[in-house]
Structure 1
Amino acid sequence: MLTLLQHRAPDSVRRVIAAREGEAHFVAGFADVRSLAAEAIARGIGLAEMVDAAGTEGSVDPADELAAGRLMAPIDHADEAHLLLTGTGLTHLGSAEGRDKMHRAAAAGETLTDSMRMFLEGLEGGKPAPGQVGQQPEWFYKGNGTHVVGPGAPLRMPSFARDGGEEPELAGIYLIGSDGTPFRLGFCIANEFSDHLTERHNYLWLAHSKLRPAALGPELLVGELPADVRGTSRIRRGDAVIWEKPFLSGEANMSHTIANLEHHHFKYPMFRRPGDIHVHFFGTATLSFSEGIQTQPGDVFEIEAAPFALPLRNPLAIAGPTDVSVRSL
């Protein structure tokens, strides 16, 4: 198993770390994962082969670097507008329960909420046979590279937000090749931070509730994702853990295949623009909000899951007020 990490030294010099078989080294000649992946695409080889071709130097301990605050999100783009954050919901077995609770009040008198109908459609048609197209999932836009938060950095809810809640997920990371082909670089753990109170008020406000930052775990897992991923999501307040629950991901615990979710995202030509980076969140079934937890500034979200060796921790904060005015020219 190969994982890639992005490292920034105190003097701001950046490097890529390759970790496998219990050892980690800097990759020679590359300052970021995007350029490493672009070179692999140009050579027609995989990322693991590219690491071997580049060579490594200097051993490093990723856990120590994480503790020292020197690990970044595992992907970024020099032009933040060319990194897109998107996601799909109602994709996991059991994921409809929390959403159904939020939306049931708005659907009084209906046998099924829209959320439950979409979940059942995915359950029936989200895992098509090879070569066939399955049911399309819920889809949302989350932002661009300005919304990417690395490990340890604050997740800032806007001053106008009504809630700041965690969503422990896996995210796929992609680079679009020069011919428009999407290349999956790998997967990372993530906190797809959202405003569930806004969403609960009216599910048509889902789009607003998703326009928030998102935290990416430090490790990019190269290759295929294990079918059964098991992790833990918790919230710390001071010295106490105020909420903790296991979560499941991977295709064995999903109502859609990863390939089906990828197809329904990249079927749009605007998402196949050469050079763009995509971070796509695959959904979750575990939310503290569904169990009545109200987060507050200073709380620390913590997400961990095998086979990732390092956790993702981020404190909750509130961004300062923004006075926006539109001027006529």
Structure 2
Amino acid sequence: MSRLSLVQFRDADGARGVAALGDDRAARRVEGVASVLTLAERALEAGLDLAGAVARQGLGGPVDLSEVALLPPVDHPDPAHLWLTGTGLTHLGSAEGRDKMHRDAAAAGAPTDSMRMFLMGVEGGKPAPGAVGAQPEWFYKGDGSQLVAPGAPLAAPAFASDAGEEPEIAGIYLIDRDGAPVRLGFALANEFSDHVVERGNYLWLAHSKLREAAIGPELLVGDLPADVRGASRILRGGATLWEKPFLSGEANMSHSLANLEHHHFKYALFRRPGDVHVHFFGTATLSFSDGVRTEPGDVFEIEAEPFALPLRNPVAVAESAPVTVRAL
């Protein structure tokens, strides 16, 4: 199959499985594996790519994806060994929404820090092969415990000021036994954030990113098209509340994927054998920039070619969990 994407699911009996979608986008079970991580590990052991590992395992019967519970397209049995991280101000136009939050700093004519970082990417974010380009903004979102399945609620903390979507592409990686990052593929992603907190003080960006995130349902194996086009929308009561085009891929970015990958994996901390990384590549499309405030029950919907399946998640708010610290 020239096109390959992988979906993790749990069937009616609670058993996990992996399905492969080919050119016809029909889902068929990958025999003998219950996770994409296991499939990737077997591929590395056999010196194969993921498509070769799927061919080696063999394909079984069809899987009706409407009759199973979809899981994130990658996970780890120990959530502490899955990293959620990302980069911002990486897309053409992405500085516009961010810049609206920091106009006061530009009152005297000086560009904001956000605009300066974006322009650094425009000027040096796509270096020649083998060269190192401009360093992007980087942030940490959490570990695998913060990864939400397609269709499951994205819950903002009870203390949150906002529950906003960020439609993105995420790169999915496994660190091999020699400490080298291996890209498994790409997934649609919702890098859920608190834009009110971020707007309040740019130094609170780190706080605004410590939220759940959703990816999937598909892991697209192979290269990401240079021009990814789709839509991001919010549904309220079944009707479209807000919708805008969603663009990604290097043709719409101020950084190359290779440059973003370099500046993440240059840290030895992120090259620990056996770890899984979900790295968000950024967006230029935010409903918050248009004055939209989401409510519990709203549904985020992100779709884009070449992904066959959309990513949908309802908005929720977690219960308050007071924290006390005691001396031992």
Give the TM interval when normalised to the shorter protein. Answer: over 0.9
Please give the residue correspondences for 1:123-134 in structure 2 after superposition, counting only pairs within 5 Å.
123-134=122-133
Letter in 1 for 2:265: F
Q: Percent identity at matched positions?
A: 69
Measure how far apart 1:43 and its partner are. 1.2
Instruction: Answer yes or no: is 1:2 the counterpart of 2:4.
Output: yes
Paired residues of 2:175 and 2:181 also in contact (CA < 8 A): yes
Which residues in structure 2 correspond to 1:2-21 (within 5 Å)? 2-21=4-23
2:54 is matched with which residue?
51
Task: Tell me how far 1:107 sits from its aligned partner.
Answer: 5.2
* Pairing 1:38–2:41 present: yes
Unmatched runs of 5 consecutive residues or more in structure 2: none
Matching of residues 77-92 of structure 1 within 5 Å: 77-92=76-91
Aligned ranges for residues 152-163 of structure 1 at < 5 Å?
Answer: 152-163=151-162
1:117-156 equivalences under 5 Å are 117-156=116-155
Structure 1 residue 60 displacement after superposition = 1.8
What amino acid is the match of 1:148?
Answer: L
Q: How big is each residue's C-alpha offset from its partner over 1:146-178, in whole Å with a ceiling of 9 and x where there is no partner? A: 110011000000000000000000000000000
| Cα pair distance change 1:147/1:106, threshold 3 Å | farther
Deviations 1:6-59 (A, max 9, x none): 010122210110110213211111000001001111111100000000111111
Q: Note if contact 1:106-1:202 (Cα within 8 Å) is conserved in structure 2.
A: no
The alignment's C-alpha RMSD in Å is: 1.0
- Of 27, 30, 40, which residue of structure 1 is paired with 2:30? 27
What do the CA deviations read for 1:85-124 (whole angstroms, capped 9, x no partner)?
Answer: 0000000000000000012235543510000000000000
After TM superposition, give the deviation of residue 61 of structure 1 in Å: 3.2
Residue 101 of structure 2 aligns to a residue in which SS?
helix
The one-letter code matched in structure 2 to 1:36 is L
2:323 aligned residue: 324
SS in 1 for 2:217: coil
Answer whether contact 2:105 2:111 (CA < 8 A) is retained.
Answer: no
- Distance in 1 separating the partners of 2:134 and 2:179: 24
AA aligned opposite 1:317:
A
- Describe how 1:124-203 pairs up with structure 2 within 5 A: 124-203=123-202
The range that moved more, 8-17 or 265-274, is 8-17
Instruction: Report whether the alignment pairs 1:302 with 2:305.
Output: no
Question: SS of 1:87's equivalent?
Answer: strand
In 2: Cα distance, 1:240 partner to 1:168 partner: 19
Counterpart AA for 2:110: T
The one-letter code matched in structure 2 to 1:293 is V
What amino acid is the match of 1:322?
A
Whole-angstrom CA distance in 1 between matches of 2:309 and 2:324:
42
Q: Contact 2:169–2:189 (CA<8 Å) still a contact in 1?
A: yes
Tell me whether 42-51 or 107-116 shows the greater mean CA deviation: 107-116
Q: Kindly provide the amino acid, as one letter, of the partner of residue 94 in structure 1.
A: G
Gaps of 5+ in 1: none
The amino acid that maps onto 1:71 is: L
| Alignment match, 1:207 | 206
- Separation of aligned partners in 2, 1:6 and 1:204: 37
How far apart are 1:268 and its partner, in Å?
A: 0.2
Match of 1:30, as an amino acid? V
State which drifts further: 249-258 or 53-62.
53-62
Structure 2 counterparts to residues 198-277 of structure 1, below 5 A: 198-277=197-276
Deviations 1:236-287 (A, max 9, x none): 1103211000011000000000000000000000000000000000000000
Kept in 2, the 8 Å contact 1:169–1:189? The answer is yes
What TM-score, normalized to structure 2?
A: 0.97
One-letter amino acid of the structure 1 residue matched with residue 94 of structure 2: S
Change (3 A) 1:106 1:323: farther
TM-score, with normalisation over the residues of structure 1? 0.97
* Residue 323 (structure 1) shift: 1.2
Q: Distance in 1 between matches of 2:164 and 2:92?
A: 20
Q: Give the Cα separation in 2 of the matches to 1:253 and 1:259.
A: 15
Q: Check whether the contact 1:157–1:317 (CA below 8 A) recurs between aligned residues.
A: yes
Provide Cα deviations, 1:183-214, integer angstroms capped at 9, x if missing partner. 00000001000000000000100000000000
Q: Which amino acid aligns with 1:85?
A: L
3-state SS, counterpart of residue 10 of structure 1: coil
